[in-house]
Amino acid sequence: MGPRKGKYSKDGKPKAIPGHSIPLAALGVFILFFGWFGFNAGSTTTGDSSIALIAVNTALAASTGAIGAMLTTWTTLKKPDIGMALNGCLAGLVAITAGCANVSPVSALIIGFMAGVIVVFSVIFFDRTRIDDPVGAVSVHGVCGAWGTFAAGAFDAGGFVLKTVMIQLLGIGVAFLWTVAASFVLFGILKVTIGLRVSEEEEYAGLDFGEHGANAYPEFAAVHIGGGAPFGSPSDFETKEKEAQATEKIRLQEHVEKKEG
């Protein structure tokens, strides 16, 4: 698909395109956090005491994942980035899923914390390799999922067994090979049929309007503190913003006319 418009400068440096609402992002993460208790504990399909250990491990890994990501960004980027902390929480949840029933609470603390650290460097890595992953999903679910699968064997409460770890590594490799191959075929078909991305005009105007004929955030404006506009130069951004506004007015008029007709 390629990166979003304005994600990279002319010299290839990545630019942050912030979300419109950190509180909503935090709410979404906490909903996932809550749901993960059902996901992990409920996956046992039994009602025995193992549910308690699974729930405790899930909570500990999520919490230390957020702490690990926050401390990592605080150390490397000089700011405790809340977006990364939220991703760290999700990374901890993903990482503990494979081993939630067979690791100790202490191991869950370590697995979650390491996932929080890993996700930060993974996001930075993909950014620098010009792979635009808007919400860090590959880092959270792919990279930290692989870490959690490995950790399920390495931190097994029954002790470290090399054969178990090797089986976990084999599982990681097979999963990645299957996903890459299947996705390459599926998205290749989509690319030559209906296409993978919208037009540049629609990307700037917003899919809320292009797909639904309504502007989800009519009063929203990007604000940058001491760093210029998020897309190219300030003048470039103003031009694109005006173009997007003009496009929205035209689309809205067409939408109203079709509705009245």
Extract the tokens encoding 227: 């760093």
8 Å CB contact between 206 and 215: yes
pLDDT at 253: 67
Q: 């202490």: which residue's tokens?
A: 106
14 three-class SS: strand
pLDDT at 26: 95
| Distance in angstroms (rounded) separating the CA atoms of residues 65 and 76 | 16
Tell me if the pTM is above 0.85: no
pLDDT at 142: 95
pLDDT at 237: 47
pLDDT at 201: 81
pLDDT at 160: 92
From the list 95, 89, 90, the residue with the least C-alpha distance to 148 is 95
Q: Residue-wise pLDDT tens for the chain (261 aa)? A: 888 888 888 888 888 887 778 999 999 999 999 999 999 998 877 778 889 999 999 999 999 999 999 999 999 988 999 999 999 999 999 999 999 999 999 999 999 999 999 999 999 999 989 899 988 999 999 999 999 999 999 999 999 999 999 999 999 999 999 999 999 999 999 999 998 888 888 887 778 877 888 877 776 654 444 444 444 444 444 555 566 666 666 666 666 666 666
CA trace torsion 76, 4, 88, 37 (10° rounding): 180
8 Å CB contact between 231 and 5: yes
| Distance in angstroms (rounded) separating the CA atoms of residues 141 and 230 | 27
Task: Output phi, psi for 54, to 5 deg.
Answer: -60, -45
